[in-house]
């Protein structure tokens, strides 16, 4: 196998050397057309010059072959890395732009090819430039193309709302709620009244996240789109896509607040900062995290619980257990009972920013 690789390397080096000889030949042909070369009185000068240039460039290319191979490997590795990190949508748009650019360059360069000597070189430059321009044009139009594709797909889904429509008791969803995913289960319980409004600019933000080069962001964006599609497949509540977009406002959060005011609705979000700003502006906010905390079972001092000690506590003799909703239960004298299920009595409850902590002790007897 190694021997075959050596022979293959020798063949490529020979071909690269012949390429150098070809370059030397082209230079010699070009020099022959110059008048002052033809007027040199030395015998056989043209022949000597041609052979010399061919041998010189063949030798140069022969010596440069290892460097050229190394440079090619570096370029290929860089291209491979860039392509591996690039989302599929970017690749498709990029290749489409390059193909369109090359087609235009082919039409433009046909008369230029007829120019003596420099026509071929100019044609190559034209193809490279137009391919690059095509790639860049479609790349910059990516957001607009995504929006058009999204709008074309809207009639296939549930509802589409224009700025002339009015909705009663609308809930405007932000990006964080769709990515979180719990809105799907909540919406299907029947507790939410009125339509759920998803602005087009929220869809665009989800699309942008789903096309991110970061794998975790891509997964979050695709999850948000999947959640929305599953909600649309369910008859209730009604999902409405709003095309109202406030072009003068660059921030998505600010657009959400303005749309919610325009609809006289409520905003649903898990974003802490958006929550605060909405309340400052007098908007009603539905926060799924607040709902989840409110639905946790109420535990009172003196109440009996049955828990399983899972690990040691931070203080001596403490054991730690958890309720089904994830609430931590610190059991006094529970360190030696890890892995055991026992009945405990709640002694106190501590409310922290992270949630509740319950302190308990084992029941006597």
Which of 294, 315, 330 represents a domain boundary (last residue)? 294
Which residue shows structure tokens 């405990």?
344
How many residues make up the chain in this entry?
A: 365
Question: How large is the greatest C-alpha to C-alpha distance in the chain, in angstroms?
Answer: 123
- pTM of the full predicted structure? 0.45
Total count of domains within the chain: 3
Measured from the Cβ of residue 289, the count of other Cβ atoms closer than 10 Å reads 15
| Residue 219 covered by a domain | yes
| Residue 2 covered by a domain | no
What CATH number is given to the structural domain containing 176?
Answer: 3.40.50.1010
How do residues 180-231 score in pLDDT, each as one tens digit?
888 888 888 777 777 888 888 888 888 888 888 888 888 888 888 888 888 8
Do residues 174 and 256 touch, judged by C-beta distance below 8 A? yes
Nearest 5 degrees, angle CA 67-CA 68-CA 73?
A: 100
How do residues 287-342 score in pLDDT, each as one tens digit?
887 777 777 667 777 888 888 888 888 888 889 988 877 788 889 888 888 888 88
Which of 127, 142, 157 represents a domain boundary (last residue)? 142
List alpha helices for 234-268, DSSP H: 252-263
| Residue 299 covered by a domain | no
Domain that holds residue 265: 148-294
CA distance linking residue 197 with residue 287, whole number of Å: 15
| Residue 3 covered by a domain | no
Alpha carbon 82 to its chain centroid, in Å, reads 14
Q: At what angle do helices 142-153 and 119-140 cross, to 10 degrees?
A: 50
| Judgement on whether residues 63 and 41 belong to the same structural domain of the protein | yes
| Judgement on whether residues 132 and 76 belong to the same structural domain of the protein | yes
Confidence band for 364, pLDDT divided at 50, 70 and 90? low
């Amino acid at each position: 196998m190694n021997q075959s690789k050596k022979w293959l390397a020798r063949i490529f080096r020979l071909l690269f050397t012949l390429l150098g000889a070809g370059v030397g030949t082209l230079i010699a042909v070009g020099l022959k057309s110059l008048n002052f070369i033809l007027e040199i009185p030395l015998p056989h000068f043209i022949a000597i010059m041609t052979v010399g240039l061919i041998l010189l460039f063949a030798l140069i290319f022969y010596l440069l072959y290892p460097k050229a191979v190394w440079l090619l490997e570096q370029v290929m590795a860089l291209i491979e890395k860039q392509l591996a990190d690039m989302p599929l949508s970017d690749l498709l748009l990029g290749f489409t732009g390059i193909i369109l650019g090359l087609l235009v360059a082919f039409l433009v360069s046909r008369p230029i090819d007829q120019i003596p000597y420099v026509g071929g070189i100019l044609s190559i430059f034209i193809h490279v430039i137009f391919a690059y321009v095509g790639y860049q044009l479609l790349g910059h139009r990516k957001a607009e193309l995504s929006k058009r594709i999204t709008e074309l797909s809207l009639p296939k889904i549930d509802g589409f709302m224009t700025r002339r429509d009015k909705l009663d008791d609308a809930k405007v969803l932000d990006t964080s709620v769709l990515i979180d995913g719990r809105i799907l289960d909540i919406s299907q319980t029947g507790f939410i009244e009125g339509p759920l409004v998803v602005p087009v600019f929220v869809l665009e933000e989800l699309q942008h996240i789903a096309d991110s080069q970061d794998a975790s962001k891509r997964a979050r964006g695709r999850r948000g789109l999947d959640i929305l599609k599953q909600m649309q497949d369910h008859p209730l509540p009604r999902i409405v896509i709003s095309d109202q977009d406030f072009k003068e406002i660059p921030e998505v959060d600010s657009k959400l607040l303005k749309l919610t005011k325009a609809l006289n609705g409520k905003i649903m979000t898990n974003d802490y900062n958006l929550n605060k700003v909405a309340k400052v502006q007098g908007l009603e906010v539905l926060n799924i995290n607040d709902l989840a905390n409110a639905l946790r079972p109420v535990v009172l001092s003196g109440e009996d619980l049955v828990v399983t000690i899972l690990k040691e506590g931070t203080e001596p003799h403490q054991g730690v257990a958890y309720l089904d909703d994830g609430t931590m239960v610190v059991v006094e004298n529970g360190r030696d009972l890890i892995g055991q299920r026992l009945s405990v009595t709640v002694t106190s409850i501590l409310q922290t920013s992270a949630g509740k902590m319950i302190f308990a002790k084992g029941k006597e007897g």
